[in-house]
Amino acid sequence: MDHIVSSIYDYSRRVVKSGISEDVRDAIKKRIADSIIVSYGARDAVPVTLARKALLPSAGKLNSGIYFSREKAPVSTSTFINGTMTRYLDYNDTYLSKEALHPSDNIPPILAVAHALDIEGERILRSIDVAYEVVGALSDAVSIRDLGWDHVTYISISSSAGLATLTDLDEDRFQNTINLGLNNNISMRQTRAGELSMWKGATAANASRNSVFALLLAMEGFTGPSPIFEGEMGFFKQVSGRFDLKLGSERILRTMIKNYPVEYHAMSAAQASCDLRNRIAGEITGIEVGTFTVANRIIIKDPEKLRPRTKETADHSMPFIIAYSLLYGEPVPSSFDDRYLRDPKILNLIDRMKFTVTDEFDAMYPEYLPFSIKVHTTRGDYSADLNVPKGHFRDPYTWDDLYSKGRRVMGEDLTGALLNTVKTMEKRDVGEIFEVISDVHSP
């Protein structure tokens, strides 16, 4: 067996046999709840509506629930629709390392297959742990972003590993789930270059949809290209270069729940700008921003970030997010509506910004998320600095924080019911989660 796949399989067996720590268990539950909360906020988003129109109604051999409805669909279809909801608002959790990505993109496929197969909560928790650990280890190993490949390629691997763990596959079928899940699902970074499209919020859902398809084939004995990493034309040679995976570091504890629906490298910028908004007086004449190289590459340097024309570009634009936060306060899902994209006040502030990448901030990232801002006004100069935003692993979300986020997004009653169910999900059937949210309908 390919040594990368072998190391993933061995880690999966350890988790299945020995279980997970209480800290990890609690973290997984929070991220399940958070992924459903942010999905609620996107339930009527245009890409979700289009996906529903294109793919529903539908039925297959194994079916699972579409979030916030009584509908069911084949597990690959429900994975795509639910996964698009989870990712679309850019409000789900983040892991920062050599590669930055969103580990909770692994949750919709695991919940979908668990729902279809009526798998108990404890197995779900352990499978999500495997997926999180694998995607975090890949992120720590090598960045494929600068090689032209998108980070959701890693979701193809981790969701396949989580699904194979969930269904307790033997070694050969486990290997082939990853082989089939990865070989044809290597995504180009063009997804996040220039003006961003709807696909930015759906490509991770597509990766995990393909992992579900791979699982269904591998369960029946279907084989895939091997060795998928080490082969003559495998992942090492074609995509990443050689690396090793170091699994077992409880990486989920270093993932970060988002406090605002913005690309995570702008989280400190949003929080600091909101705080500064309450102190500044006078007309703004100039804005100086200190940042780091990765943020500059992803959410600052492209000219499209100075005049975003789509929601997808605006929530990946630090200039837009700073201007919005200085003018209107905390970003919310509606902050990226067309009226704000055309707002002359926002555009005027963007034109007054100057960004500087500093060696100090480069050295701090990714352990910290450093940001500095100085605003010049007709009444004086005002400045703010922030290294650790709320939700960062150095200032992690509590259940109370998650409740507050849920109350903002989906209301008090539904949030309370969801959190109460997820907190004890190792004692529950996954159907109970779907039952809690199934009466919330999308048009």
pLDDT, one tens digit per residue, over 8-52 is 999 999 999 999 999 999 999 999 999 999 999 999 999 999 999
Mean pLDDT of the 225-235 span: 98
178 within 8 A of 161, measured Cβ to Cβ: yes
Contact in structure between 219 and 167 (CB atoms under 8 Å): yes
Burial of 327 (0-12, 13-18, 19+ CB in 10 A): middle
Q: What is the pLDDT of residues 49-71, one digit of tens each?
A: 999 999 999 999 999 999 999 99
Listed in order, strand segments (DSSP E) in 48-196 are: 63-65, 72-74
Q: Does the CA dihedral 362-363-368-374 come out positive or negative?
A: negative
Q: Is residue 439 very low, low, confident or very high in pLDDT (cuts 50, 70, 90)?
A: confident
| Mean pLDDT over each residue of the chain, to the nearest integer | 96
Task: Report the alpha-carbon distance of residue 102 to residue 117 in Å, rounded.
Answer: 26
Q: What is the pLDDT of residue 176?
A: 98
Label residue 432 by pLDDT band (50, 70, 90).
very high
Is the predicted pLDDT of residue 440 greater than 80, yes or no?
Answer: no
Mean pLDDT of 224-234: 98
Helix (H) or strand (E) holding 285: strand 284-291
For 157-176, what is each residue's pLDDT tens digit?
999 999 999 999 999 999 99
CATH number of 3-259+398-437: 1.10.4100.10
Angle between helices 107-117 and 121-141 (to 10 degrees): 150
Domain with CATH 1.10.4100.10 in the chain: 3-259+398-437
Q: What is the DSSP string of 89-129?
A: TS-S-BB-SSS-B-GGGGHHHHHHHHHHHT-BHHHHHHHHH
**Residues carrying CATH 3.30.1330.120, the chain:** 264-386
Percent of the chain exceeding pLDDT 70 equals 99
Q: What is the pLDDT of residues 281-296, one digit of tens each?
A: 999 999 999 999 999 9
Contacts of 126 (CB under 8 A, 6+ apart): 15, 16, 19, 20, 165
pLDDT at 387 over 50: yes
**What is the model's pLDDT at position 443?**
43
Tell me what pLDDT residue 265 has: 97
Q: Which amino acid is at 126?
A: R
pLDDT (tens digit, 9 = 90+) per residue, 63-107? 999 999 999 999 999 999 999 999 999 999 999 999 999 999 999
In 3D space, the residue among 167, 206, 204 whose CA is nearest the CA of residue 92 turns out to be: 204
Protein fold of 264-386: 60s Ribosomal Protein L30; Chain: A; (3.30.1330)
| Nearest CA among 173, 149, 151 for reference residue 161 | 173
* % of the chain residues with pLDDT over 90: 97
Residue 357: exposure state from Cβ atoms within 10 A (0-12, 13-18, ≥19)? middle
Q: Token pair for residue 147? A: 């090689």
Name, in order, each residue with C-beta under 8 angstroms of 435's C-beta and a sequence gap of 6 or more: none
Task: Kindly state the tokens that stand for 342.
Answer: 């055309």
pLDDT at 441: 59
Cα–Cα distance measured from residue 110 to residue 279, given in angstroms and rounded to the nearest whole number: 46
Band (1; pLDDT cuts 50, 70, 90):
confident
Residue 388 predicted with pLDDT over 60 = yes
pLDDT at residue 172, as a whole number: 98
> Would you state the pLDDT for residue 323?
98
* Prediction pTM value: 0.95
pLDDT at 442 over 80: no
Backbone angles phi, psi at 142, to 5 degrees: -160, 145
Q: In terms of Cα–Cα distance, which of 368, 360, 364 is closest to 387? A: 368
How do residues 390-416 score in pLDDT, each as one tens digit?
999 999 999 999 999 999 999 999 999
